[in-house]
Structure 1
């Protein structure tokens, strides 16, 4: 089932939706105007899906005042388009879901394009062709799994097992039959590519001579074996290594969508404030997208939050009671921006402000009472809890480790 990522850009305009009932996007055409992108029609930037090329992300920029999209750039698993339009210090956004491809778009437009969203579907597993000699050795194929946790490499010298690393002997006290191993921190890390070398030739003389592995954390294993004259690479952008096969003379690989790691453990930081009102807890999410703070005569009357969970918006309930003064808003540039601390003052909760990894929100409420700071080093805020009745009496946060 396709996943719908919300449209980014300004508000207003006529809504349009191409749907997700497509296998691929093949062409994209964007026409610019004096104010930005005038329209978008998917038939010009050509994508060769017959060569396993597919659209994986869209980067864009929209004007702070008009909300019109100023620039767009499309990326496939093999290349990037030119920047279409101009980036004039507006709000940047990215449409991307790891391990997925774009199969449809939606958004809004008037005389100009106002917003753009996308539909994503998981990448299908692929099997890359063997490299090396396929005429010798005993064929094998491990098939397809959800990921690779550990890689072992043995070496042979004149019929005896010998362990080497980076092509050099490990020492006179090496253990026969010992294996070199490269451990992957699965599911938080996965193998993204294999680089190998072989002989230049054909038949049984064209053997695999060395292998090395790269991961999603930019780690590279040692080079196992002696480097040959010919280099080959197994890689499929957006996919992870999930299997391999053939024979010791040759190697092939299976790639599929990368593993989805479990959410990091969360921790509740109890908030100060008054002990009146009813307790509430929004829970823990992947991050915070927007904060609404309602003003009252005595300070903060109500709050509500917009969260993100698996690239979907989750609107939290209103806590407290909105007054005629309405709400003030603070929107984050999610997912690149996240809240690191919440500072405030309380008798009830008179006022508060939030700091992110990029900036500090405007102060909400009144600067009076006992001050407090909620936050933990190396963590980000992923949820809120507290106490309220007609007004906000207490606020606390749930935090999770910051991961890249």
Structure 2
């Protein structure tokens, strides 16, 4: 059994390349590179389990070097602190300085950047292990400098069982940490060794993928029936590298042996524990593998519910004698008699309170047959009419429950740490929320819950003379999402909740509680509590509300079933960017335009990514090559031709309307910038097989709400009727063509909005559409795709930054799907980090249709260059 550890989240920015040194016995020495505005470099000297020392380096050596040495093992580091801040020279958030505390009471000097007066600068953080646990390793992000830093601490009272890595010391160390369970494992071979592993972990309702090594041969998979099944045993063999793996589960299943069973055998197993994460080392192969196990949960007793039934029918004639067997516990057997003319007889064998109850109707004639009903809900009784024959028949069906207490998850509280924690538990419904406000924060909150017909009230915080505001939830409604802002205000030691709003299953928004959220700096943070029906709350408070979390009963996904993947990119990439666009032609994704710095274009190259080779190239530039490098540009594909409209450069010169023939590799100017629809940027585009549609955007003078179409056969623009004030002028909206109709989804009108409008070109009519379900909050500049009758959206900006486009605003990573027939929303699993100004399109990859997205703006105001795909398995 190896060292038990606690992985504490990294503080700092989200650029650079992730690293994870893993877990050692302790830290002996830390060397820090002090650049003139940040920590540029970090070198750590660890002691391993053999008593030898190993070093790890991150960042780039620049500036002077500072050293902090610990008298290990008699003294060890117990706290990792420092400051981080946006560094203008790099255009991203970096670690400014570091400071360490030890078990001997020592505190290191400030390592890294300080002001001219010797003081640290930036937002302070201090990370500590539980019960004074010692520092065992670091993880974080680095590139030209140290972007983020987080520690591994010894977990003194950890319930986890950590198995040390088995294998060699080659490759890079990694530790996925601990999750709720494991859903799926992919094992890939490279010759006689295992070269690739991909784990899909369960985290609440989310799937969190981690991949390691190098994918060479086609991987084999082992799927776990989570949450009803867990991996309890991991077996493998080592012959210099990992050569084989085999898994056993709580249901008694054993996987095939993946790989070649040669070399030294190892077994990870702990009674009454389940697998919750892996650690290891890898490069081109898997050098070593370790595992984290957690306590196996006690079985949850099946919930008992009062039977609610629906009486249906009877269907048939109106003769004969009426009968009604009433409601039983269930039906065991049905016998039916029929002659050549009709059903003459029926006999039902019921079960009620453990005893058989038999009822028969009609007259026995003809052939008798037995059958079992197909139960959607549970069959609990019959009614109808019978005399000489069966004149009519109807049935009682119990209502199948939507969800059960076993599906309730506890979502971690967001905000600060107040003096008093509270946990109201989970109920059947939240009926009323009362909120009291202070000068700039939420001071008081009261929840009125319902369970088994009783009302229970819980209150937290301190009432003020300002009184309270109330939000009541309807009888057939429920809260599905909470929007919470929090920040550290002057005079408070920890963050406080400053703003709350609630959304319900019927699409109703509460009034906003608290001060109007303004994103003025990175101290102001936004979190969304969502993922099903909210049935209770927890958090912390003092004289104010410091944090809030929720109990959520997840709804079953009934629309789409799919999964997120991050697409591998090989070789040189176009680089990070946002405000660009993409389109698919065959197996190639084309990308055009964008910005790296706010409001300033990058280049005018047309790039394409080949999904066969996973490499980028620059398309040939023949013909009428666009004059301007563009941001806020839009692009769609019809067949093998790309259509590019609008966008502007950093000096607000606008582009016209172009096509690019991907076969002939040639540009063509279709409409000059001064002809056709007015020049614009941050508009929306969509296409069918004959038309390119352009909606909204920001023109030279103002936002617009016009809808135009360019017919590629007639080669003419037409302008459709204006939607009027119901669909206000906007930028950053989603535009989708679904079964011949054009949908405008959300957008920005000076603030984020959540209205949806549909235009029918046949009737030339606009309709404002009301939706319900797990409806997402208002947003703009999000990713969008269409699969059948479904519109998928993901990410986007929820609140505008006070600096407008110069700042990041409040961004989200949530994904949702809208059924355009039932007008119901469902939340999908999350698969990427929060972002906005994303390039996206509908794509088919490896036989699956879904949402493809590339790049975007990060919450730190940096830019991404990753590619994600949500592939739909079934709809």
Scaled by the length of structure 1, what TM-score is found?
A: 0.42
> Which protein has greater RCO, CA pairs closer than 8 Å, 6+ apart?
1
Greater gyration radius? 2
TM-score, length of structure 2 as denominator length: 0.20
